Structure 1
Amino acid sequence: MVTKKYSACTSMLVGKKASLDGSIMIGRNEDSKAAWPKHFIVHPAGDLPEQFVSKDNGFSLKLPAHSAKYSATPEWTDKFGLFEEDGINEFDVAMSATESAYTNNNVLAIDPLVKDGINEEAMVTVVLPFIHTAREGVARLGQIIAQFGTGETNGILFADNDEAWYLETAGGHYWVAQQIPTDSYAVISNQLSIQTIDFNDHDHFMYHPEIESFVADNHLNPQPETFNFRQIFGTHDGSDAVYNNPRVWSGHQKFSPKKAIDEEPESNNLPFIMKPDQLISITDVQNYLSSHFEGTAFDPIGPGDSTDKHKYRPISLAKTQESHVLQMNRPTVNIHWLAMGVAAQSVYVPFLANLSETPAVYQRGKSTYSPQSAYWIFKLVGVLGDSHLHQFWPQLEKTQNEINLSLRQSIVAIDQELGKLDESQRVSLANKKAKELSDLALTQYRSLAATLITQATDLSPLNFKTDENL
């Protein structure tokens, strides 16, 4: 049986009638290592080889003849695999992979994980460049998992200009997917989340063709009168209660406080699909992915006592490599919002999905700090802010607010300009604005880092106050 340490993320999907502007949003924090840079690139059409072979586990797959253009956030090195993680292709299909989860031992005893199956590392690369709709993405990935198996349990997000889907794997070969209702949202945190499957509703559910017989033949369903995927395939242990469930609870309290008034942070029965109390904006989604239980006793940098402050795993934390929100169904051009490093200490820079190249600073960065890398520029400010929390965080938040307002104003102006341009001019504009808007954010972060370093020089414990010079 395959066993490995998974990365741990938090995800959110929003239907178009649940959003403030009618857009569809899928977002996720990629949480794995505290100092492991990500790059942001665009693959041109036809960029992939005929045969994909994973450097992670040897998984091999013959690819279709022509690959579409798509954006991606790969690791700084491909030594351990690509991990392209998130992007939007030229057909306006978005994909984010993966939300790590776990299958229970009852299932794994019968359908073990597959050592050389498709894993997180390969999923975006072998799926996103070859699909024209979100539903097609679900079908392609599901077929690959059923045929070749997987060595992990994962959740995968898809969206296009019409709908959003969430696919979950379980065991070595089985999977289900649910369309997020247009008037609803879902938040997910490192556990199998999809609940009751309606096998007669093909508009809203997709699944491995033999999953019903697999469960029945192996007596896996503790409540045969229904088919609850989470209950049959998932885990329900103490780690869920303190590591996973509180993040879902936090999302429900933020977006559906009236409906979730009786929910408890450690409950194993929190619903997957929720309707918001009011429409959700792009800022709301970004704030959720940047959150750490602010306003509660569980905030690790809040005023609570030490026990409460470290009781639950926050959404935004030091091991976030990048956070993204893929915003679809916009009236002009869709947007790949990207926050390098820890979302709580970074900003989401908007990149128009039709761009053909990314700024050079987003293609740089290795495992050691570099001032020429976007990832490390944002990480530097985060580290400085952590070093003197109460003195520096107010300045960080002020800078974030100023940048966020400038970026939102820029998008409004860009949308107005796009309506006057043909397609080739739109691509040129996307490339130009990618550099302008990333420069805007990075310039202010470099300036903030210089200010914080200067102020920190007199915050050493090797101070002795007798007069202003000592």
Structure 2
Amino acid sequence: MCTTVIVGKRASTTGRVILGHNEDSGGRVMHQQFWCPGAKHAPGEFVEGEPGRARVPQAPETLGTYWSNMLAPAPGSSFDQGLANEAGVVMCSNSGGTSFDGELSDEETGLVEGGIGFLLRRCVMERARTAREAVEIAASLLDKYGYWSPARNYSFADRDDAWLLNVVKGHHYVAKRVPEDEVVLISNYLAIRKVDLSDKENVIASPDLIEYAIRMGRYTPKTPGDFSDFDFSRAYQPVENLTASTKSIRMRTGWQEITGVRYTDELNYPERLVPPKLMSPDDVKAVLRLTAEETYRNLGDGKGDAFHISAEDISRSHTRESWVCEIGEKPILNILWHCASYQDTGVYVPWFPLAKRIPENCQWTTLEEARHVHFRMKPEYLDFSFGKRYFLNALLGELVNFDRGLMSGIWRERDGLEAQYKTLAAEVVEKAKALPPEEAEKLLGDFTCEMTERSNDLLRELLACLDTVDAEVHPQELSITDPDATAEVVIRSFPELDIEEIDQSSLLWSLGFTGAKASVLEPAKPLKVEIRGDDLVATFRAFDVARFGIAECLTDTYIRGYIAHRRFVAMALVRFKA
């Protein structure tokens, strides 16, 4: 359930396109980042994606790319990958929901060699020098191989232009250029509605886009031969995609933030519009941090076990990274304001991805290994570690999500650091402009690493100062298959904590949202609770938590409840075993 904001260059305070994106995905998934050098390739080389899908001949020469690589348990992640290339093109994607053709077989949709999915973004971004060229390359790949997934929105941007590409299973797609003075908001249905196929400058589409919809009985023009009422989304996917609350409420919330207008017709939210004022990168961050009013009403003030549980929120517990690309005068000056995991507690850090430096705690495999295991992930790569930037962000977000009262101490620190970053980023850009390319690259790479470490320091400080409780699980290895095993959760006493004041009936234990949402929604309750010396020991049926885990993965679990009418939360690590 991703969210994307595209700001045309004449709708932007920077005078250039801005692209912002929340990458949302459930389960034990996370991102590491790489710089992938450009290269020349010999004839006969191929690139491979998902097993059983098409291989694509490699281009004679490829561009260097920044790759935000999502690590996910097998069968891996085909679509949750952000990229930027050295020509200045940036891309992201959102699920498009279901489609009519998504229900058809590969044979019925005419896929060649199984079609492509993951390789669409890689091949495009290794070759495209403009956003329009990105769409043209994508179109040629879709014409040749077809697309194997039900539906998707792809967004491509360079400093002057942005294009939105919608594709469904098979060989059908349409792309539209975003007008320079307009803004587009995308959730998780096909975002392109009205299509004028005669506008070759601003529209690129599969050859039989409308004819196919008519032939399949999904579109009938009001006037024969007049296709001005053609609606791509309505012709290619069920209307339930537009009315689902997990999609429509995010659209309502986002458009209200952008325009000040509360739109209520979920079947006809704006496809795009001219904003009432120019939008800045900070304005885009504000949209990506929005929470639905329903969440405040139903779960705010401690009403729920957790605050962010719903896909109706733009800012979600399932956001695995959030970023805003402030495209610069030259590609090397592109600023990627990057937040790992929860963006309401996390900090948007200024990165210069085309400086080719990735902070050390933002990757934990080599590029070669990442490509090798992408669709056959090793569980240990998903291990919790305080040495990974993702988990510093995720842990803070999880603790605050379970105890929203902790948030009051975070706003000021988060916003204060981001204000510093804004000034420092502007200063370093001016310095880089005056330097030769190699020196500018080093300056911006060093800056990226330094700013990331400042953010990490703040996260560590906040984690150390939060009013949380210490807990351990015994044994620390739990079987995901043994229904009879038990585990003891030990809550440690300390001077400020009187464990006898813990409301034993309130105790819950589960994975976090960075583990499995289903576990949070079905938390384990203790079989018995006792005081042993200075500690409280709660015995649980281990399988109630372990059944949601991944074998061989070191996983953060969360114990929460009430002490003297106050909420508390603790994190304890467990390694799950087969």
TM-score (norm 2): 0.72
Give distance in 1, aligned partners of 2:362 and 2:462: 19
Residue of 80, 83, 86 corresponding to 2:82: 86
2:234 partner letter: Q
Say if 2:231 is the partner of 1:228. yes
| Counterpart in the other structure of 2:396 | 381
Task: Tell me whether 1:101 sits opposite 2:93 in the alignment.
Answer: no
Give percent identity, aligned residues only: 21
SS in 2 for 1:165: strand
Deviation at 1:406, TM superposition (A): 1.6
Q: Which residue of 1 aligns with 2:256?
A: 253
Q: Provide the C-alpha distance between the structure 1 equivalents of 2:220 and 2:98, rounded to a whole number of angstroms.
A: 18
Distance 1:454 1:98, change over 3 A: closer
Q: Distance in 1 between matches of 2:110 and 2:303?
A: 41
Q: What is the CA–CA distance in structure 1 between the aligned matches of 2:317 and 2:77, rounded to whole Å?
A: 22
Question: TM-score of the superposition, structure 1-length normalised?
Answer: 0.87
Q: Structure 1: which amino acid aligns with 2:39?
A: G
What are the Cα deviations for residues 336-388 of structure 1, in whole angstroms up to 9, with x where unaligned? 22211122221221211421221111113832210111111111111221232
Structure-to-structure mapping, 1:426-445, within 5 angstroms: 426-445=440-459
Greater CA drift, 308-317 or 187-196 = 308-317
Q: How many pairs are equivalent?
A: 450
Aligned counterparts of 1:313 and 1:42: Cα–Cα separation in 2: 34
Give the secondary structure class of the aligned counterpart of 2:355: coil
The structure that is strand-richer by fraction is 2
Give the residue type in structure 2 aligned to 1:349. Answer: V
**2:254 corresponds to which letter in structure 1?**
G
2:61 maps to which of 59, 66, 76: 66
Give the number of the structure with larger relative contact order, counting CA–CA contacts within 8 Å between residues 6 or more apart: 1
Report the equivalent of 1:42: 35
Q: Write the letter of the residue equivalent to 2:341.
A: G
Q: CA 1:461 to 1:235, structure 2 compared with 1: closer, same or farther past 3 Å?
A: farther
d(CA) in 1 for partners of 2:99 and 2:497? Answer: 48
| Unmatched segments (≥5 aa) in structure 2 | 366-380, 471-493, 503-562, 565-578
CA shift for structure 1 position 123? 2.9
Runs (5+) with no aligned partner, structure 1: 1-7
* Structure 2 CA distance for partners of 1:276 and 1:321, relative to 1, 3 Å: same
SS at match of 1:151: strand
- Name the structure 1 match of 2:146: 149
Q: Given that residues 113 and 150 in structure 1 are in contact (C-alpha distance below 8 angstroms), is that contact kept between their aligned partners in structure 2? A: no
Alignment of 1:258-337 (within 5 A): 260-261=261-262, 263-264=263-264, 267-293=266-292, 296-299=293-296, 301-303=299-301, 313-330=312-329, 333-337=333-337
* Cα distance in 2 between the residues matched to 1:424 and 1:388: 47
Is residue 463 of structure 2 the alignment partner of residue 449 of structure 1?
A: yes
The structure that has the greater radius of gyration is 2
Q: Distance in 2 between matches of 1:12 and 1:46?
A: 32
Structure 1 residue 227: Cα displacement: 1.6
- Note the alpha carbon deviations across 1:379-405, whole angstroms, 9 max, x for none: 111122123211x10112222112211
Q: 1:185 Cα deviation (Å)? A: 0.6
Where do residues 416-427 of structure 1 align in structure 2 (5 Å cutoff)?
Answer: 416-427=430-441
Which SS does the other structure have where 1:436 is aligned?
A: helix
1:123 aligned to 105, 120, 123, which one?
A: 120
Which whole-Å CA distance do the structure 2 matches of 1:369 and 1:309 have between them?
Answer: 21
Whole-Å Cα distance in 2 between the matches of residues 214 and 322 of structure 1? 37
Query: Which residue identity does 1:26 align to in structure 2?
Result: L
Structure 1 residues 462 and 126, CA, compared in 2 at 3 Å: closer, same or farther? farther
CA offsets per residue over residues 188-245 of structure 1, 9 Å max, x none?
1110121111111112111112213322333321444422111211221277331111
Question: Once the 2 structures are TM-superposed, how far is the Cα of residue 410 of structure 1 from its aligned partner?
Answer: 1.0
Tell me how far apart the structure 2 counterparts of residues 395 and 284 of structure 1 sit (CA, whole Å). 23
In structure 2, distance between residues paired with 1:15 and 1:206? 19
Q: 1:421 to 1:159 in 2, by over 3 A?
A: same
Is the 8 Å Cα contact of residues 93 and 159 (structure 1) preserved in structure 2? yes
Q: Could you report, residue by residue, the CA deviation over 1:245-267 in whole angstroms, capped at 9, with x for unpaired residues?
A: 1111111111112xx34x21x61
- The aligned residue for residue 524 of structure 2 is none
Residue 466 of structure 2 aligns to a residue whose secondary structure is: helix
Q: Distance in 2 between matches of 1:427 and 1:367?
A: 31
Tell me the secondary structure at the aligned position of residue 62 of structure 2.
Answer: coil
CA distance in structure 2 between the aligned counterparts of 1:323 and 1:249, rounded to whole angstroms: 20
Q: Which residue of 1 aligns with 2:340?
A: 340
| More moved, 130-139 vs 454-463 | 454-463
Change (3 A) 1:357 1:311: closer
CA distance in 1, matches of 2:247, 2:394: 25
| Alignment CA distance shift 1:172-1:411 (3 Å) | same
Contact 1:298–1:304 (8 Å) recurs in 2: no
* 1:6-62 deviation line (CA, Å, top 9, x unaligned): xx2111111011112212112221111243221011111128893112245533111
The answer to whether structure 1 residue 138 and structure 2 residue 135 are counterparts is yes
Is the 2:182–2:274 contact (alpha carbons within 8 Å) kept by the matching residues of 1?
yes
For the residue of structure 2 that corresponds to 1:344, the secondary structure is coil
RMSD: 2.9
Q: Note the C-alpha offset of 1:112.
A: 4.0
Deviates more, 1:81-90 or 1:345-354: 81-90
Counterpart CA distance in 1 for 2:102 and 2:46 is 35
Counterpart Cα distance in 2 of 1:19 and 1:86: 22
The 3-state SS of whatever aligns with 1:95 is strand
Give yes or no for contact 1:162–1:329 (8 Å, CA) kept in 2.
Answer: no
Aligned ranges 1:388-399 → 2 under 5 Å: 388-390=403-405, 392-399=406-413
Pick which of 327-336 and 358-367 moved more.
327-336
**Contact conserved, 2:308 with 2:401, CA < 8 A, in 1?**
no
Q: 1:404 aligns with which of 409, 418, 425?
A: 418
Residues 285-316 of structure 1: per-residue CA shift (max 9 Å, x gap): 112112212xx34436535977x998871112
The answer for the alignment partner of 1:356 in structure 2 is 356
Cα 1:231–1:404 shift into 2, 3 Å: same
CA distance in 1, matches of 2:208, 2:241: 31
